[in-house]
Amino acid sequence: MFAKGLKAGMYLCTFDRNENMLSFEFNDETRKMLGYDGLEDLPNEFDSWVKTLVPEERDAIVKLFWDSVRIHRDLPDITHATYRMQKKDGSIIWVTGAGRFIRRPDDGSLEIYGMLSRHNRPARTRRILKDHRGSRKDLQFLHFHRCKGYELSYDQHQ
């Protein structure tokens, strides 16, 4: 209900203590935002998310995802990435995925709780993706800004 009210998608990723992915789940709002009809149409799998990424940016975004998992201990409490996704009908939308990494103290496993929302400020993100070579500064802009209240802080690092 919360995600429906926000018109935002939600996702959950779980990892074992060695950061091997165990699960990747979308909610129905994510599927709806991307034009999919249900679990059969867009299964709860990492590869489902990967296939919705714009093909020419896919490798860079997947690399950013795994880089963020690898260095999550150095990140702010809440992080985000802005990128393009391809809907089922082939149209392209910009989204911001904001998430929180949580390391469980009992077993050392890792969870990412996140939200996907449509985004309107693609210019800098497009430029960084085009020139992305994996520099830490670019990773920080694309993936690791701290949320401030209800507003994501984009301009402070430009």
On whether the CB atoms of residues 123 and 108 are closer than 8 A, the answer is: no
Among 3.40.190.10, 3.30.200.20, 3.10.330.10, 3.30.450.20, name the CATH number for the domain at 2-149: 3.30.450.20
What is the pTM for the complete model shown?
0.72
Question: What does the pLDDT look like over 21-65, one tens digit per residue?
Answer: 999 999 999 999 999 999 999 999 999 999 999 999 999 999 989
Domain ranges of the chain: 2-149
Instruction: Give me Rg for the CA atoms of the chain.
Output: 15
Distance CA 74, CA 154 (A): 19
pLDDT digits (tens, 9 = 90+) for 58-69: 999 999 899 989
